[in-house]
Structure 1
């Protein structure tokens, strides 16, 4: 396997840095402009390219039908992490995770 492939780099990071605590491997695997998108508020955000990562929380009162669930009047909070690849000023690709399924499950409980 090519040691430069993203898969190999991540596998190496997991084994050598997380599992073994190898500081030398950490220094070798971190790019000079590395940005930790999961860092606490105030962490630097200085990487640019064709992908943009956002982390957000959507908080509202469930006052209208949501995916077939009648309004409950309860407060809901959905946590979201999105990665969007932009091409020619338009969304070209999207990856994301969110807590919508957990929120819907809670709304179904009376």
Structure 2
């Protein structure tokens, strides 16, 4: 697949996330995708990706993800993004706080046959926890 086709798949992922169309993630994620940085307890493969995003958008129903720079290098795409939301549902064992967050993250995807076959990523989890009051340091802040 060409870099342009991979970029189209990456952009399609953004559309599917926005639509909460997790049942269609197979359009852009390989069934056997390897997530090198899974969330705690995340199952392997496409099922784990779907479960993560289902849980995350349940906890943060107004979640928005804004990509900033996107770097395309044939089979790899690096996306830097800002993610925002309001903690309105259970999240990793924490009851909703009603607080909002805004953090930055990065994801590197390796494509095979026009789908994400491998994923590496990091999001400011400490910043997210602090903004939600889940880190112990900002309780009541």
TM-score, structure 2 as length reference: 0.42
Root mean square deviation, CA, Å: 2.3
Q: Could you say if the C-alpha distance between residues 57 and 73 of structure 1 is closer, same or farther in structure 2, counting changes exceeding 3 Å?
A: same
TM-score, structure 1 as length reference: 0.52
Task: Give unmatched runs, 5+ long, in structure 1.
Answer: 1-40
Q: Could you say if the C-alpha distance between residues 70 and 87 of structure 1 is closer, same or farther in structure 2, counting changes exceeding 3 Å?
A: same
After superposing on structure 2, the runs of 4+ consecutive aligned residues of structure 1 that deviate more than 4 Å are: none
1:79 to 92, 100, 104: 104
Name the SS for the 1:59 alignment partner.
strand
- Pairs aligned (count): 68
Contact preservation (8 Å) 2:109, 2:117? yes
Larger radius of gyration: 1
Match of 1:59 in 2: 84
Which has more strand, going by share of residues? Answer: 2
1:99 to 124, 128, 141: 124
Task: Give unmatched runs, 5+ long, in structure 2.
Answer: 1-67
